[in-house]
Structure 1
Amino acid sequence: MSRNKAIAYAVGLPIALLLLIFLPAGTLAWWPGWIFIAVLVLAFGASALLLAYVNPIIFRARSRFQEGTKAWDRALLAAIFPAIAAILPAAALDAGRFHWLPLPLSLIVLGYAAMLWGIAVTAWAQAVNPFFEPGVRIQSERHHRVIDGGPYRFVRHPGYVAAIALFFGMALALGSVIALLPAALASALLVLRTAWEDRLLRAELPGYEDFAGRVRWRLLPGVW
């Protein structure tokens, strides 16, 4: 990633986060939104510092979509990303402005727990997997190989498990039932992506079939 692009991300993402939350909420005085942003920034900041120490190459791998990313994956992500982004304004409209379906504090705390768990597991997966890219492809030029350590000992796609926990956790942490709808849509599309990616890896990545025999579950042990 170029320096200018890195600066654009560093400035643009926080501004986008503020707009997605406080514009629909209709006020900057919605304190649950500020708590949410603070927790999110601190958690992702700690994750980034850890990865910079244990697996700095991951930042290069995840800086952009690489050549060879599957067309079907780009199409899926074109639907997944808006669904993810919709979680925040939906929650802000619900819990911040109109107060349609208030949630008890226990579910809000559960949401933060799920969100932090998702960020932690994502960091763990990225720490052990240098091939953790934003797009689905076989990374032949990087000598792509199967990673079976860390969270990959339990499920074959721990990053997606963590992402689903993060989606639902964000909605609950902001105190919104309505925001669970885009979270569910993003999660359903991610489950579809898991199935298609798993099929690709079985067909094209050497050793993955044996790995799938050892680690039976794609996302949820005992279920799928």
Structure 2
Amino acid sequence: MITRLILQTVAWLICMGALLFGAAGTLAWPAGWWYLIETGALSLWVGFWLARHDPGLLAERLAPIVQAQQSRWDRFFMIGVALMWTAWLVLMAFDAMRYHWSAPLPVWLVSLGSLCIFLCIFMCRFVFQANSFAAPVVKIQTSRGHKVIDTGPYAYVRHPMYSAALLLFIGTPLLLGSWWGLACVPLLVIGIGWRAVREERVLAQQLDGYTAYTSRVRYRFVPFIW
């Protein structure tokens, strides 16, 4: 499992690096290198923690983004996410380095972006600790005894991993220095908001106790907002 984790992480970093630096047209991009180092190191940190404390969840996290048990609409959604993420990275590299559409961001905003990415993955670690069923795809994990989780961050919002993703959406363009990338964030938020609503319909229909949980925990992403 550890070998698979390392290989998949390295492959993911190589693909992202090829997109970023290929679109940038140069390797002389410190922010791009730091983005890869930070996300790669933090992802491995969480992965090693899962390998020790919840190997079943790690196996789910390493599984393909398209699966047989997955809801059909979610298969198309995940393919769309992969394509949109690719286009987003290319856009930010074009903007920040190749064509310089955006004015340079101040250092404090770039640093804030790095902090947001750290907080995102740090928050995900607590999500995984609370919820052993936090698979990347929408499905009911009957073989693993899937049940409603209402402890930890799930006591405050119904989708704490999506809450953490909001920080990643903001932090990535700030760290990479792209105002155009930041302008795309509302589209990303709308996308995961749509998925959260569809996901809840599946859970309410197929997971005992989920409807009662939604009546106790009112907010999806951010308390008192939505």
Q: Same fold (TM over 0.5)?
A: yes
TM-score (norm 1): 0.90
Aligned pairs (5 A) from 1:1-224: 9-62=8-61, 63-64=63-64, 65-101=66-102, 102-224=104-226
Q: Residues of 1 paired with 2:10 and 2:119: CA distance?
A: 26
Tell me how far 1:49 sits from its aligned partner. 2.0
The structural deviation recorded for 1:68 is: 2.1
Q: Deviation per CA, 1:43-80, whole angstroms, max 9, x where unpaired? A: 21222222222222111122234432111111111212
Q: In structure 2, the residue corresponding to 1:178 is in which secondary structure?
A: helix
Q: Is the 8 A contact 1:43 1:119 kept in 2?
A: yes
| Distance of aligned partners of 1:145 and 1:116 in 2 relative to their CA distance in 1, 3 Å threshold | same
Work out the number of aligned pairs and report it: 223
Shift of 1:6: 5.7
Q: 1:22-62 CA deviation, whole Å, 9 max, x = no partner?
A: 11111111122112222222221222222222222111122
- On the 8 A contact 1:84/1:182 being kept in 2, the answer is no
Q: CA deviation at 1:142?
A: 2.2
Change (3 A) 1:7 1:151: closer
Cα distance between partner residues in 2 of 1:53 and 1:33: 31
Are 1:21 and 1:33, in contact at CA under 8 Å, matched by a contact in 2? yes
Identity percentage over the alignment? Answer: 36
Amino acid at match of 1:74: R
1:179 counterpart SS class: helix
Aligned to 1:144, the other structure's residue is in SS state: coil
Question: Cα deviations across residues 124-162 of structure 1 (Å, max 9, x unaligned)?
Answer: 112221111121122222221011122111101011111
CA distance in 1, matches of 2:37, 2:7: 20
Q: Distance in 1 between matches of 2:164 and 2:128?
A: 11
One-letter amino acid of the structure 1 residue matched with residue 154 of structure 2: Y
What amino acid is aligned across from residue 130 of structure 1 in structure 2? S
Native 8 Å contact 1:83 1:182 kept in 2:
no
5+ residue gaps in structure 2? none
Mapped to 1, the partners of 2:157 and 2:132 lie a distance apart of 17
RMSD: 2.1
Amino acid of the structure 1 residue aligned with 2:15? A
Q: After superposition, give the CA deviation of every residue in 1:152-191 in whole Å (9 maximum; x if it has no partner).
A: 1110101111122212211111111111244432322111
